[in-house]
């Protein structure tokens, strides 16, 4: 087994590990937080200021 074969196997392993971690973390976060909270998007001066005025 030469250098490039080793690199190929390493690439498969690292790719699998990274993709597994991303999926695992996504599931963990979705269990940890509410879906409405994760999908909420409060951006921009007008939206946030309106929200603050509404609360106040």
Q: Which residues of this protein are in contact with other proteins, per CB under 8 A?
A: 2-4, 7-9, 11-12, 14-15, 18-19, 21-22, 25, 33, 37-38, 40-46, 48-49, 52
Residue whose CB is less far from other proteins, 31 or 52: 52
Helix ranges (H only) for the chain are 3-32, 35-39, 45-55
Q: Between residues 44 and 54, which has the closer beta carbon with respect to other proteins?
A: 44
Our CB check for other proteins shows the closer of 4 and 31 to be 4
Decide: 47 and 38 in contact? Cβ < 8 Å.
Answer: no
Q: Is residue 48 within 8 Å of 55, Cβ to Cβ?
A: no
């Amino acid at each position: 087994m030469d250098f490039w074969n080793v690199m190929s196997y390493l690439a498969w392993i690292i790719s699998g590990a990274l993709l597994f971690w991303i999926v695992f973390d996504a599931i963990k976060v979705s269990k940890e937080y509410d879906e409405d909270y994760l999908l909420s998007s409060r951006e921009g001066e007008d939206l946030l200021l309106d929200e603050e005025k509404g609360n106040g």
